[in-house]
A and B are shown apart, each in its own frame.
Chain A
Amino acid sequence: MVLEEQIPQFTAWIGPALLRYAAAASISLLIAAILAWLVQAIANGPLAAGDRVYRGLLAGLADVSLPSPRRVWALARLAIQESLRRNVLVVLALFALIILFAGWFLDPASVDPGRLYIGFILSATNLLVCLVTLVLSVFSLPADIKSRTIQTVTTKPVRTSEIVLGRMLGFAAVGTCLLALMGLAGWAFVVRSVSHGHTLEAEDVFEATDGDGAPAGAEGRTSRDRGHRHRVILDAGGSGIAETTQGHRHQVSVSGTTATGEKTFAVGPAIGLLEARRPLRGTLRFLDRDGRPATKGISVGSEWAYRQYIEGGSAAAAIWTFEGVSPGDFSEGLPLEMTVRVFRTYKGDIEEGIHGTVQIRNPTSGLRSESLPIVAREFTIDSLLIPRRINTVLANGELQEVDLFDDLASDGRIEVWLQCLEPAQYYGVAQADFYLRAGDGSFALNYAKSCVGIWFCMLLVTALGVMFSTFLSGPVALLATIATLMIGQFREFIARLFESQVTGDATIVPGGGPIESLYRIVTQTSITMELDPTPAVSAMKLVDTILLAPMRIAAGIFPSLSSLGTSDFVAGGFDIPGDLLGAHACETLGYVLAFFVAGVFCLKAREVAS
C-alpha cells in the first residue's frame, strides 16, 4: 500500500498537536470576536459593541459549560425519533441494493479481489453514512426554526448548548446504528465473496523430475474457481502449496487414496487474503549508480514522485534500515515483504520478472550476507524469509555461516540492500514498500477499526452540518458543509497553490490562482507557459493572491475527511496502527468540540423567533 507520510507515534504527536489546536482555537476565537465587534459597532457604536461582545462571550461560555445530560438526551432522542419517522432506514435497503450490484458487477477474477471488494464496500458505507447524517443534520434545525417549533423548546429551561449537542448526538447515534449494520453486512459480504476453495484432481498432477531425472515430487494445477487457478508444487509425500495467484495461496495435502490407488488431494482455504499484517517499517536511503550516497533515486519521469528508481547492473541500491529487530519477535528468521515496481527501458520477456538481489548488512560492522536472488513481479507483494542461519561473504570472497541476530543485527539494527541485476532496467521503490512482517492482527478487528475511521468522518460531518444549520437555512447549510469538506479535501493543494502564488515559483503549482486559470482557459494558454509580466498580469496575480489568502487560512483549519479514512490499510491487508487511530480520534474530537462551540455561539446570537 501507499504510505506517503510516516505515521508518527501517538505520544510524540499529541503534544505539538495540542499546541497547534490551542493556537488555532485562540486565533479563531479572536477573529470571531473582532468580527462580532465590527458588526455590533456599526449598529450600536464602538463602546456598546464592546460591552455586548464581552457579555455575549461570557453568556456563551456559561452556556457551553456543563450541559444537562437529561435534556441533551431528551433532544438527542427527539433527533433520533425525527430521523426514524423520516424513514432514514430506507438507506439500509439502498445499501442492500448496492451489495447486490457489487455481487453482480465486481469482477472476482481481478488481480486483487480482496482489495476490490473491501475498497468498494468501505467506500459505499462511508459515502452512505456520511450522506445520510449530512442531510439529517443540515435540515433539522432550520426546519424547526422555520416551522417555529423551536419556540416551544427554547421557552423551556433548555440551554442553546443542549439544543446543539442534542442534535449532534442524536444524528450521530442514528449514523452509528446505520454504520454498525452496514459494517456487519459489508464484512459478511466481503468474507463470503472472497473466500473460496479449489479442488485438485489426480489427473491434473504430474510427477516432476529434477535435472538428473530423479523424482522430485509433483506439479499440477488446481481447478478454476472464481476466475483463477493455481500452479501446485507438491513434495514426494504429496503435500505442498498452490502458488500465489491473485495475492493468495492455498495449502495442499493428501486426503486419502481411491480404490484404484490414486491419491486424492485436499486444497485448504485461501492464505494471504483478508489479512491484517503488522509491519515493522524502516527508513530508506539510496546509493547512486557509482555507489555514492544519494538523497533520491532516479526519476523515470513519473509525475508522482512517491517511488524512486535505481538502475540495474550498477552499484545503485536502495537501502532500508530497520531498528528494534530482536529474535523474540522473529524467532523463525526475518519475514521480509516487498513490493518492487519495474521500469523497463526495453521490453525483454514481459512474462518474466526483472531479476535482482537482496542483501542483509550489519550497519555497525559492515558485515554483509550473500546476495539472495529475487524476481520483481509487478503489483504483488513478494515475501522472502531470511533464515536465522545465513551465509556472509568474507573479505577474501569465502562464505561463512553466521547467526542473523548475533552477527548481522547485533544492536537490533539491520540494513536490507536492494539491487537490480539487469542493465538498463530499473527498480522503483518507496519507503513503505519493504517491511518486516512482525505479526498479524485479526482481519475482522481491522475491518472494525476501519469502520471506526468511517465513524470519525460521520461525526465530523454531523457536527459540521449542525454547526452550519444554526445560522443558515437548510440548503445553504448543505452547500456550506460540502464546500468546507471540499476545501479540507484539497487543503494541501490550496496550501501549495498559495505558496506558489506568494513566492512566484510556478514550479510548485503551475497555472496560478482562480483568475489566472480562467484567463488561461479563455486564451488557451498552457499552464507551463509564463505570462508576460505586464501591469494587467501583475494585477491579476495580486487579485488571485487576495482571493487565495482566506482559502489558505481555511485550508489550514478545515478538516480533511480522506485523511481520516483508513480503508486503504484494510484493502491493502495491513493492520491499522493504533497510533494512527488515536491521532484520528483526537483530531475528530478537536473538530467536533470546535464545531459545537461555534454552533452554540451562532445559535445564541440569533433571534430564533424573529
Chain B
Amino acid sequence: MIQEAAASSQTMRRSESAEVVVEARNLSKVYRDFWGRSKKTALKPLDLDIRRGEIFGLLGPNGAGKTTTLKLLLGLIFPTSGEALVFGRPATDVSKNERIGYLPEESYLYKFLDAEETLDFYGRLFGMSPEERRRRAAALIEMVGLSRDRKRQLREYSKGMTRRIGVAQALINDPELVILDEPTSGLDPIGTREMKDLIIDLKSRGKTVIMCSHLLADVEDVCDRIAVLHQGELKELGRVEELLRVTGVTQIRATGLSPAATAELKAVLERHGAADIEIGNPRSTLEDLFLEVVRDTEARPGRRARRPAGASDATRTG
C-alpha cells in the first residue's frame, strides 16, 4: 500500500515536471526607439517554468515588467534575447493560441459590438460552429452576469461590465491556459470576489492560470506560486504559503473561549516561556464586511444592513 502510494506520487511528480505549460529561457526585452537606440530595459533575462494546473501570479509595482512578460509569452512582442515556449511551441506560433485565453489589461474590445456579437466574433476566430458559439456565448454571458445587457453596444458599458465581457471573451474557447492581466482592476468588491472565485474554479477544472497584479491581497488569496518582479528583474519566486510563512511565531485560533479560559491559556503560554503574547479578537477584512453588508441588503431590501455578529452593541442598528 505504502509502496503503491510512493509510486503514484513519483509518477505525479514526473508528470508535473513533464507538464510545463510555459517556459521562459533567458527571456529579456529592451524597448528601442525608431533609430534602434535602447529606450528602456523592460525585462532582464528571466527564467521561468509554469506547470499545468497551477495559479501563477506575477507581482510587482507599476512598470516592473509584468505586462511585458505576459506579452512576450503571448507573442504580442518579440524578445530581445532568449525564448518563450508555450505548450512547447515558440510564443510567436499562432497555433498555440487555440489553447489560450487572454484578458488584457483593459479588455480591449470592439466598442461598436454588443456582448453577443463580441463573443460570436471571437468564437468565429476559433472556427467554432454556429450552435457551439451560441451555446458558449449564452453560458458565458450568464456566468459573468451580463444577461440583461447582452444587446447593448460595449461603448455604453461601465468599466466593470467591460471587464466582465473581457473575461467572457478570454474563456470563449474553454482554454487550457488563461492569462489574466490585472483581472480585478476596475471591479467592485463583489466583482473582485467573483473574479477570484472564477480563478479558483478554473484551477479546480484543471486549467493553468497566469495572472499579474499589483493588488497584493488578490494575489495572496488565489495564487499557488508567485514571482515578484521589480525594475524588470525577478526578485522572488516560490509557493505563496512558503513565502508568507512567518517562522518563529505561532498562531492559535479558537471559538467559544470564555475570558477565564483565555487567561488560563495566557498563563500556560507564559509558563512555557512564550514572549510577545497577544490575545484578542481577530480583525475581519473590509472586503468581508462589505460583502456581508451587500448580501444582507439584497436579502432584506429597503432596510439598513444588520451588523455582522460580534460587533459591539453601540453600533448595532435596530
Asked if residues A81 and B117 are in contact (CB atoms below 8 Å), the reply is: yes
| Chain A neighbourhood of B126, CB < 8 A | 156-157
Given A85-B112, A152-B108, answer yes or no on A157-B95 (Cβ-Cβ < 8 Å).
yes
Quick check: which of B96-104, B183-191, B207-215 contacts chain A, the rest being far away? Answer: B96-104
Show 11 A/B contacts (Cβ-Cβ < 8 Å), sorted by A: A70-B127, A71-B127, A74-B125, A77-B121, A82-B112, A148-B104, A152-B109, A155-B100, A156-B125, A156-B173, A157-B125
Asked if residues B113 and A81 are in contact (CB atoms below 8 Å), the reply is: yes
Shortest distance in angstroms between A514's beta carbon and chain B's nearest beta carbon? 27
| Chain B neighbourhood of A151, CB < 8 A | 76, 102, 104, 108
* Contact among A68, A70, A78, A154 for B110, CB-based, below 8 A: A78
Is B307 an interface position by the 8 A CB rule?
A: no
Chain A 13-56 per-residue mask, 1 if CB under 8 angstroms from chain B, else 0: 00000000000000000000000000000110000000000000
Asked if residues A71 and B36 are in contact (CB atoms below 8 Å), the reply is: no
Asked if residues B102 and A68 are in contact (CB atoms below 8 Å), the reply is: no
A59 and B93 alpha carbons, distance in the complex (Å): 9
Is A562 an interface position by the 8 A CB rule?
A: no
Count chain A CB atoms within 10 A of each CB in B95, B122, B166 and give the residue with the most: B122
Asked if residues A152 and B76 are in contact (CB atoms below 8 Å), the reply is: no
Is A245 an interface position by the 8 A CB rule?
A: no
Is B124 an interface position by the 8 A CB rule?
A: yes
A74 and B112 alpha carbons, distance in the complex (Å): 15
Quick check: which of A482-490, A550-558, A602-610 contacts chain B, the rest being far away? Answer: A602-610
Asked if residues B121 and A78 are in contact (CB atoms below 8 Å), the reply is: yes
Chain B 193-231 per-residue mask, 1 if CB under 8 angstroms from chain A, else 0: 000000000000000000000000000000000000000
Count chain A CB atoms within 10 A of each CB in B32, B74, B124 and give the residue with the most: B124
Asked if residues B125 and A43 are in contact (CB atoms below 8 Å), the reply is: no
Which residue on chain A has the smallest CB distance to residue B29?
Answer: A610
A147-165: which residues lie under 8 A (CB-CB) from chain B?
Answer: 147-159
| Chain A neighbourhood of B102, CB < 8 A | 151-152, 155
A580 and B117 alpha carbons, distance in the complex (Å): 43
Asked if residues A147 and B108 are in contact (CB atoms below 8 Å), the reply is: yes
Asked if residues B121 and A157 are in contact (CB atoms below 8 Å), the reply is: no
Is A493 an interface position by the 8 A CB rule?
A: no
| Chain B neighbourhood of A189, CB < 8 A | none
Which residue on chain A has the smallest CB distance to residue B74?
Answer: A155
| Chain A neighbourhood of B169, CB < 8 A | 152
| Chain B neighbourhood of A70, CB < 8 A | 124, 127
A609 and B92 alpha carbons, distance in the complex (Å): 13
Asked if residues B110 and A71 are in contact (CB atoms below 8 Å), the reply is: no
Shortest distance in angstroms between A61's beta carbon and chain B's nearest beta carbon? 15
| Chain A neighbourhood of B104, CB < 8 A | 148, 151-152
| Chain B neighbourhood of A148, CB < 8 A | 104, 106, 108
A153 and B126 alpha carbons, distance in the complex (Å): 10
Asked if residues A68 and B127 are in contact (CB atoms below 8 Å), the reply is: yes
Is A343 an interface position by the 8 A CB rule?
A: no
Chain A 568-610 per-residue mask, 1 if CB under 8 angstroms from chain B, else 0: 0000000000000000000000000000000000000001111
Asked if residues A82 and B110 are in contact (CB atoms below 8 Å), the reply is: yes
Is A265 an interface position by the 8 A CB rule?
A: no
| Chain A neighbourhood of B107, CB < 8 A | 152
Chain B 172-190 per-residue mask, 1 if CB under 8 angstroms from chain A, else 0: 0100000000000000000
Which residue on chain B has the smallest CB distance to residue A608?
Answer: B76
| Chain B neighbourhood of A330, CB < 8 A | none
Other A-B contacts than A68-B127, A152-B108, A154-B75, 20 sampled, CB-CB below 8 A, are A59-B92, A71-B125, A81-B117, A86-B112, A148-B106, A149-B108, A149-B109, A150-B108, A151-B102, A151-B104, A152-B102, A152-B122, A154-B76, A154-B94, A156-B122, A156-B125, A157-B126, A159-B94, A608-B76, A610-B77
Is B290 an interface position by the 8 A CB rule?
A: no
A153 and B104 alpha carbons, distance in the complex (Å): 11
Asked if residues A74 and B121 are in contact (CB atoms below 8 Å), the reply is: yes
Shortest distance in angstroms between A205's beta carbon and chain B's nearest beta carbon? 67
Which residue on chain B has the smallest CB distance to residue A85?
Answer: B112
Which residue on chain B has the smallest CB distance to residue A605?
Answer: B78
Which residue on chain B has the smallest CB distance to residue A82?
Answer: B112
| Chain B neighbourhood of A156, CB < 8 A | 97, 122, 125-126, 173
Asked if residues B36 and A43 are in contact (CB atoms below 8 Å), the reply is: yes
Which residue on chain B has the smallest CB distance to residue A155?
Answer: B102
A609 and B105 alpha carbons, distance in the complex (Å): 12
Chain B 287-302 per-residue mask, 1 if CB under 8 angstroms from chain A, else 0: 0000000000000000
Is A73 an interface position by the 8 A CB rule?
A: yes
Shortest distance in angstroms between A361's beta carbon and chain B's nearest beta carbon? 69
Shortest distance in angstroms between A137's beta carbon and chain B's nearest beta carbon? 17
| Chain A neighbourhood of B125, CB < 8 A | 71, 74-75, 153, 156-158
Shortest distance in angstroms between B44's beta carbon and chain A's nearest beta carbon? 18
| Chain B neighbourhood of A150, CB < 8 A | 108
| Chain A neighbourhood of B32, CB < 8 A | 43
